[in-house]
Amino acid sequence: MTDGVELDLSEGSGPSDPLKIRDLRFLGGLASVGGWRPEVDLPEIAFVGRSNVGKSSLLNRLVRRRAFARVSRTPGRTREINFFAVNEQFVLVDLPGYGYARVSKTQRAEWRPLMERYLTATQQLRGVVMLLDVRRKPSDDDLAMLDFLAEHGIPTLIAVTKTDKLAPTRVEGELERIARELQLDRDQLVGFSAVTGAGRDELAAAIVALLDQPAWSEGSHD
């Protein structure tokens, strides 16, 4: 057990795993603009998406830990930006979910500058993994986030979740449809199922490739 994170080293990890998790450590949370954040000089990969898109389940599957990101029946519970050191080589950053109706407008107004400041002022940020639900049309919040990431030139991967909810023969067609709607290249999208593990290694390999890149806008931040 490491800082309350349940380790499960045997679950599905094999010699071909592009992202073998040997150590996973919770570093803390950033709750306000200008507040405390971990003082580590490791590359960071951030994850963002709507509150009900399945981000906690995706993160659990990605790092092969059953209780790494707490899965809640009430979306919108994450109120901080949470930082996790992976293998002491990079930091996985879990951003608050957005777009949940029961979260007050005041809270949403507080989260927006927190997230925008993190995304535009973190020199070690290598890229963002944005989650979309394969069954749902991208929301206005999703489109606004994509526009924000594109405007700032932040490298972005799209993880399209819950592919197990569709017949296997439909998945590729839906991924192509989403890519067309968003005017993205198909190779920017990874179909993902936290239930079956489909797409886990593909997403892990894409993240490793991002980590090999220089900071997206190194030296241009405040």
Looking at residue 111, what is its pLDDT? Answer: 62
- Per residue in 145-172, pLDDT (tens digit) is 999 999 999 999 999 999 999 999 999 9
Sign of CA dihedral 90, 185, 217, 94: negative
Cα 145 to chain centroid, rounded? 13
pLDDT at 51 over 60: yes
Contact 203, 190 (CB under 8 A): yes
Q: How many residues does the chain have?
A: 222
Looking at residue 37, what is its pLDDT? Answer: 87
pLDDT at 8 over 70: no
Average pLDDT across the chain, whole number: 83
Looking at residue 7, what is its pLDDT? Answer: 31
72-97 CB burial, b ≥16 within 10 A, e <16: eeebbebebbbbbbbeeebbbbbbbb
Across the range 123-141, mean pLDDT stands at 94
Neighbours of 36 (CB within 10 A): 10
Dihedral angle computed from the Cα positions of residues 36, 37, 41 and 46, in that order, rounded to the nearest 10 degrees: -160
- Which has more pLDDT, 215 or 7? 215
In the structure, what pLDDT confidence band is assigned to residue 14 with cuts at 50, 70 and 90?
A: low
Looking at residue 33, what is its pLDDT? Answer: 81
- Per residue in 68-102, pLDDT (tens digit) is 665 444 444 457 899 999 999 999 999 988 865 45
- The one-letter amino acid code at 5 reads V
Whether this prediction's pTM lies above 0.75 is answered by yes
- Per residue in 201-221, pLDDT (tens digit) is 999 999 999 998 887 664 444
pLDDT at 42 over 80: yes
Dihedral angle computed from the Cα positions of residues 32, 36, 38 and 44, in that order, rounded to the nearest 10 degrees: 20
Q: What CATH superfamily is the domain 24-211?
A: P-loop containing nucleotide triphosphate hydrolases (3.40.50.300)
Residue ranges covered by each domain of the chain: 24-211
Looking at residue 31, what is its pLDDT? Answer: 85
Looking at residue 16, what is its pLDDT? Answer: 83
Looking at residue 39, what is its pLDDT? Answer: 87
